Amino acid sequence: MRSIATSGYRITMGVLLALMVFLLLFPAVNTALFTTLNQFATPGSADFWANITNLGDGLLATGIGIAVFSRISRNLAVVFLNVILVGLFVQIGKYGFNYIPGLDALGLRPVGRLGIDAVNVIGPALEHYSFPSGHSAAAASVATIICLKIPSRSIRAMVILVAVIVALSRAVVGAHWPADIAAGAALGVAGALLSVWLVDKVFAEPDYKARIGLYLFAIIVCIALYQNHTRFDDYFGVNGVEYVVATVALLLCIFRLVETTYRRFRLSTKIKGLTRNELVVSFIKFGLVGASGFIVDISIFTLLHNFMGMGSALGRGIAYWVAATWNWFLNRSFTFADAGKDAHALQWTKYLLMCLVSFFPNWGTFTILTNSSEFFEHYNQLALIAGVAAGMIFNFIGARFVIFKQEPGKEMS
């Protein structure tokens, strides 16, 4: 970590702590500032603020961190350590200031202190465990890690702006005092700095087993995010955002897990023997790409059909073509990387034309099963699996011998 960056973040943390102390010493200012921010909570803006404030949910913020840092396992370690440290800091504060005599008044949220009629509430009307703000801490910690690890000034500025808006939204939705927000943001910055320092200075570079463990844990977090139940699930778009973040992060982690495992296994005698059989190896890789494409397929279908209410046939068709494009890109860059390289647009067009033919057994199987069986109509994902299986063999043959035809005299590396 560069010293100039460290000093800058230390100054930020000091300013936040000073602001917290000032607001606690002058409760009238704290209340006036809360009232000003809370006026932005109008009935027409409820969905917007629910989505903004939910970005500070701990599990969702972790999913965002996973999506951003999936490429570098060391940074994933920073994200996970940050979750532990910041979560510990926040919970100690919340329970301490709710039960320590003389300080328990800090645990009362605006609704608990002012009454429900005096607060514009978006989401649940919470009364206790106010200090510090956990959402603000999560947003600030993830933003700090991104700013420390990504050199782009424009990205840093955007991330800081989003984190600030997420933190302030806690007052807008009536959940926290400004003093809570300042304290939570300070803890988030401190936790992120400590996490980065510990991983960079104390922990060794993750070896193969550690990287596999990190990616597997990240996959578990992504799957848990699909089932994440927040206090804002009833607002439009909240579940959709979590679903998109979980899907993107899951796909990236699966890809990195496959990539890491494949590179490791290629060094073994057994896999070296398999590489002599180009068809076997390419089919294995084609299957791995297809598995990731299946996740894209089923995720988009579920988003369109289950979340957005689109008809199953139309949603299935859109999801299929998006997944086909995903598969083309990975097959070009991973499965058949040694094949002849046609122009992107030409090869993509030929690949989609091939998928147009395989689309009919795929989509036809799905349609027949869902229209002829109540079981498959209810469990339409199982019909989706059957459709994918119906088109897989055709796709591999077409991809290997037509779309990604091996150049004469060139062997697979």
C-alpha–C-alpha distance, residues 24 and 21, integer Å:
5
The pLDDT value recorded for residue 180 is: 94
Burial class (CB in 10 A: 0-12, 13-18, 19+), 74: middle
Tokens representing 336 are 């058949």
Q: What is the pLDDT along the chain (413 residues), one digit of tens a residue?
A: 444 456 678 888 889 999 999 998 999 999 999 999 999 988 889 999 999 999 999 999 999 999 999 888 888 999 999 999 999 989 888 877 776 666 666 778 899 888 889 999 998 888 888 889 999 999 999 999 999 988 888 999 999 999 999 999 999 999 999 999 999 999 999 999 999 989 888 776 777 778 888 888 888 888 888 778 888 888 888 888 888 888 888 878 877 877 776 666 554 444 444 444 566 667 777 878 887 887 888 888 888 887 777 887 788 788 888 888 888 888 887 777 776 666 777 888 888 788 777 767 677 777 877 777 676 677 676 777 777 766 676 677 777 777 776 655 444 44
Query: What is the chain's length?
Result: 413
177: Cβ–Cβ under 8 A, 6 or more apart, which residues? Answer: 23, 30, 31, 34, 109, 110, 130, 131, 171
The CATH number of domain 3-226 is 1.10.10: no
Predicted local distance difference test score (pLDDT) of residue 38: 94
pTM of this structure: 0.67
Quote the DSSP letter at residue 201: H
Helix intervals (H) in 150-277: 153-172, 178-201, 208-226, 238-266, 269-274
Contact (CB, 8 A) for 313 and 367: yes
Domain spans of the chain, in order of start: 3-226, 268-403
CA distance 337 to 119: 59
Say which residues have a Cβ less than 8 Å from residue 77's Cβ, sequence separation at least 6: 199, 203, 206, 210, 214
